[in-house]
Amino acid sequence: MKNVVLLLGSFLVLLLCLGCPPVEEPKPESVPFSVSGTVYQDGVATEKIANIGQSTNILMKEPGVVILDFKAKTSTRLIYEVDTTLEIYYKDEFGSDVLWVSLTEDGPIIQKCEKSSAELAFLALVFLAGAVHVHGGVAGCVVGSYPVVRGVQEGRHFQVEVPFSPAAKSVVARVTVREGSEKRFTHTVNLISPIPIPAATPFSVAILKPDPDAILVEGQEQLFAAKAEGTSESVNWFWLFADGSVSSGGQIVSKVVSSDLTGEVVVFGSTSSGRLDWDTISVSTTSSGGGGNDDRGVEITAPIAGTTVSSNNILFNAMLLGNEVPASVEWNTSDGSYGANQLSFSLPVSTFGLEPGTWEFWVEVVVTYDDGEVFSNEISFYIKIEELPPPALSAQINTPTDGATLLLNQEITFEAEVSGGVPPYTSHWKFPDGEQRDGLMVKKTFTIPLSEGYVYFEVEDAVGQSYKTQVLVKTGES
């Protein structure tokens, strides 16, 4: 199926590239605009670039958006016309060389109401699979997610937004400014992906649910779930369904089945470093539940669909419909199979080995009766793992002991022990004569006879916790 997607992408690129303008642009005699830029990643400005030249390369290590800011150098009443084109150079594994796009002042150039699902899926390789994170479920007419020219002050000050994903080899934005029919200058910025370092483990994605060639019941809710292997990075997801709908951002997607859903389901997964893979399955739909005993069935009552579990244990519970006892009960989750032949059981959250954060899970229960008829129910829910506070920091002075008498003019070892907290530690000693030393173990010689005072030890850990302790020492004649 991947070959089909690649051929489709190449065909679309060929259509879009017909009539492309020449790559080489003559250099202008004058440059009436100054150009600066700002790099945004996850909505945060990470780099500002002043005085961008007429042809500039910008290295982009992460997904993001570059906003180019054009300002007229002199005050003028002239109204400049702005014409911008974008060239997306794909990596070799995507099966095509370049996608050429013309930008307008009307806002986003790609909208679901204007582009087919196939075109959206192809463009997802660069945009939705990396640079653009669409929130809120299904992506309809996605506003502000694609390259756009924003005009300010009638062409004397304008901005060009160019998204970038490491899934692309490079993205070239060419901005041409005209005064009437006369071209004044062309500015080119090339967003370049760094040379990739081959990963030790191949990156791959796979659709877990439903099974290939599954028959989905119309009118019922169906979960679509995927997994990624070969990466510790977060993965951005893009789903494409046969009914023309798309969904971005979620590893698990819930849809109400309609007859239009019959056909191919495609999922793309991409990491922030530009590693990308996809998987496809075919499904069909039916208007009936398959006949059989309508009194039988099963429903999951815990966890409740769509809720967030934040306790240390998760209760899984299913309720049978009808009075007949099934031959077997099987539970499947995002992380594996548990609780065989039980309608109710619980698991510690630690079973799943999750890092702090909120994680989406799916769970399915399948009951099989003696006559071979199978019923199932599945839901999605969330598991919230709280960030645990760091262990309390403490310390003790092992030598010398409290109240010890120290011999004059002899080197004495002071040693402390630290526990808890978050390494690395910074430790500090302060002596009665005002001398100070750093470290867990230090040596000190006392010269003042028949005196006493406190030796203080203080330690601070990597998160700012501090602890202070002390011992009383006395000096005696040697």
The domain that contains 423 carries what CATH number?
2.60.40.10
Residue 421 counted as domain residue = yes
Give the pLDDT confidence of 150-161 residue by residue, as tens digits.
555 555 777 887
19 and 168 both lie in a single domain? yes
| pLDDT at 5 (0 to 100) | 39
Residue 411 has pLDDT above 80, yes or no: yes
Checking if the pLDDT of 183 tops 50, the result is yes
On whether the CB atoms of residues 73 and 33 are closer than 8 A, the answer is yes
The pLDDT > 70 percentage for the chain reads 75
Does the pLDDT value for residue 3 go beyond 50? no
Residue 93 confidence (pLDDT)? 66
pLDDT at residue 417, rounded to an integer: 95
DSSP 8-state secondary structure symbol assigned to residue 138: B
One domain, residues 188 and 305: no
Indicate whether 215 belongs to any domain: no
Q: Cβ contacts of residue 439 below 8 Å, gap of 6+?
A: 427, 429
- Total number of domains constituting the chain: 3
DSSP tag of 351 = G
In this prediction, residue 110 has a pLDDT band, given cuts at 50, 70 and 90, of very low
Q: 442 vs 12, which has greater pLDDT? A: 442
Residue where one domain finishes, among candidates 360, 385, 410 = 385
Q: How confident is the model at residue 443 (pLDDT cuts 50, 70, 90)?
A: very high
- pLDDT tens profile 11-52: 233 323 333 344 444 444 466 778 898 888 777 788 898 888
Choose one of 330, 353, 385: the last residue of a domain: 385
Is it the case that residue 4 has pLDDT exceeding 50? no
Among 166, 192, 218, which residue terminates a domain? 192
pLDDT at position 11: 29
**Top-confidence residue, 403 or 150:** 403
Q: How far apart are CA 416 and CA 207, in angstroms?
A: 55
Do residues 428 and 330 both lie within one domain? Answer: no
Q: Are residues 72 and 184 in the same domain?
A: yes
464 and 442, same structural domain?
yes
Using the structure block, give the residue that is written with the tokens 């500015």: 187
Tokens of 240: 């494409």
My answer on whether 155 and 55 are in the same domain is yes
Residue 52 in domain = yes
**Cβ-based neighbour number of residue 411 at 10 Å:** 9
Both 472 and 336 in one domain: the answer is: no
241: exposed, middle or buried (Cβ count in 10 Å: 0-12, 13-18, 19+) = buried
**Residue 53 pLDDT exceeds 60:** yes
Closest-CA residue to 124 (of 194, 41, 59, 63)? 63
Judge if 172 and 309 occupy the same domain.
no
Q: Are 395 and 417 in contact (CB under 8 A)?
A: yes
The answer on 334 and 311 residing in a single domain is yes
359 lies in the same domain as 411: no
**pLDDT exceeds 70 at position 387:** yes
Range with the lowest mean pLDDT among 128-142, 205-219, 311-325, 440-454? Answer: 128-142
- Whether 247 shows a pLDDT value over 60: the answer reads yes
Residue 159 lies in a domain: yes
With respect to residue 177, please indicate whether it lies within any of the assigned structural domains. yes
For residue 144, what pLDDT band results from cuts at 50, 70 and 90? very low
**Does residue 411 lie within any of the structural domains?**
yes
Let me know whether 85 and 184 are in one domain: yes
As a whole number of angstroms, the distance between CA 276 and CA 203 comes to: 7
Looking up residue 155, the CATH number of its domain turns out to be 2.60.40
pLDDT greater than 90 at residue 140: no
Range of the domain at 429: 394-476
What pLDDT was estimated at residue 250?
Answer: 76
Any domain includes 167: yes
Q: Is the pLDDT of residue 102 over 60?
A: no
What pLDDT was estimated at residue 467? Answer: 95
Q: Is residue 399 part of a domain?
A: yes
More confident residue, 23 or 352: 352
Average pLDDT of every residue of the chain:
77
Residue 354 reports pLDDT greater than 70: yes
Q: 7 pLDDT band (50/70/90 cuts)?
A: very low
Same domain, yes or no, for 26 and 159?
A: yes
